[in-house]
């Protein structure tokens, strides 16, 4: 039985393993690498830019030519935030550089675990399994000139795209199955990295300390979800009261707030003193 890779403790246990990390990078970025130390909760001193940011997983290749960041997030409104992180990793190289030349190539891989609510600049909702952001330079004839190799890759196992390479899909299957089918996951165990990751996140492979950390993460997430649900419920109560004061029929109010007529009636009768969180 697999543990849930949406849990940051589980995710970090799997992807801070050098074999898993290097196999993952090879399959996602097409790079054969050897990494030195893999760090978690990586911070930079002095700070880079105006945000004192922290990276989930950070590693440099042994020859220091590449730095690779791996992030796992639930909410895609943070996409711009991680673009900032990506740019700051590039900008931060100027802290010790004698010239403006960028000494390291920066790669960032962002793993989303919920469907997108993110829209592109045309207003279209994104439903892509894999998004790749790179620096491209073209001349007037639109011929590309290779100046930089930096890349920012976003992965989302909740969306399917036939054009996604199979080696990428295999990793996304691992993440998705750990979340939705942990007892009988359908994953490619012929992939050395995936096999290794699956072994590491088996529920029996966690120490008591790691299990406690996993539970703390789940409790914090459940509290957050409950708090967000309560905020929505409070807003629906306010809406129901305002519509009732405007003499809108009860059935119309119920459809608007998406509760039954009986529940809506109870919401209308609530006073501020009687508000309590029904989600805990």
- In order, the DSSP letters of 146-195 are -----EEEEE-TTS--TTS-HHHHHHHHHHHHHHH-TTS----TTSHHHH
Query: Where residue 8 falls among pLDDT bands split at 50, 70, 90?
Result: confident
Tell me: pLDDT of 199 over 50: yes
pLDDT value of position 279: 47
What are the pLDDT digits (tens) for 236-250?
888 888 888 889 888
Task: Kindly list the domain boundaries of the chain, sorted by start residue.
Answer: 8-206, 221-274
C-alpha span between 42 and 58 (Å, rounded): 6
Tell me: pLDDT of 219 over 80: no
C-alpha span between 239 and 262 (Å, rounded): 16
pLDDT value of position 223: 63
C-alpha span between 160 and 163 (Å, rounded): 9
Tell me: pLDDT of 233 over 80: no
pLDDT value of position 237: 85
What are the pLDDT digits (tens) for 22-79?
999 999 999 999 998 899 988 877 677 666 678 889 999 998 888 888 888 876 566 7
pLDDT value of position 275: 53
Q: Does the pTM of the predicted model rise above 0.85? A: no
Beta bridge partners of 152: 108, 133
pLDDT value of position 266: 83
Q: Indicate the SS3 state at residue 66.
A: strand
Tell me: pLDDT of 226 over 70: no
């Amino acid at each position: 039985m697999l543990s849930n890779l949406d849990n940051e403790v589980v995710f970090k246990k799997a992807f801070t393993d050098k074999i898993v990390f290097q196999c993952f990078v090879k399959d996602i970025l097409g790079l054969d690498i050897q990494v030195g130390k893999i760090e978690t909760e990586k911070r930079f001193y002095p700070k880079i830019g105006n945000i004192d940011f922290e990276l989930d997983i950070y590693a440099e290749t042994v020859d220091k030519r590449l730095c690779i960041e791996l992030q796992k997030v639930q909410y895609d409104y943070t996409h711009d935030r991680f673009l900032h992180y990506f740019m700051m990793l590039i900008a931060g190289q100027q802290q010790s550089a004698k010239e403006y030349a960028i000494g390291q190539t920066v790669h960032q891989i962002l793993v989303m675990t919920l469907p997108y609510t993110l829209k592109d600049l045309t207003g279209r909702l994104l439903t892509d399994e894999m998004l790749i952001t790179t620096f491209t330079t073209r001349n007037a004839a639109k011929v590309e000139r290779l100046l930089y190799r930096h890349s920012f890759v976003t992965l989302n196992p909740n969306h399917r795209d036939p054009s996604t390479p199979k080696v990428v899909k295999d990793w996304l299957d691992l993440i998705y199955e750990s979340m939705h089918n942990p007892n009988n996951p359908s994953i490619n165990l012929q992939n050395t990295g995936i096999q290794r990751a699956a072994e590491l996140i088996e529920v029996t492979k966690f120490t008591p300390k790691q299990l406690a950390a996993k539970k703390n993460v789940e409790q914090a997430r459940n509290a957050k979800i409950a708090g967000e649900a309560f905020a929505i419920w409070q807003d629906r109560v306010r809406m129901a009261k305002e519509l009732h004061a405007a003499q809108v029929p009860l059935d119309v109010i119920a459809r608007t707030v998406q509760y039954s007529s009986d529940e809506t009636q109870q919401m209308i009768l609530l006073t501020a003193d009687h508000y309590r969180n029904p989600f805990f």
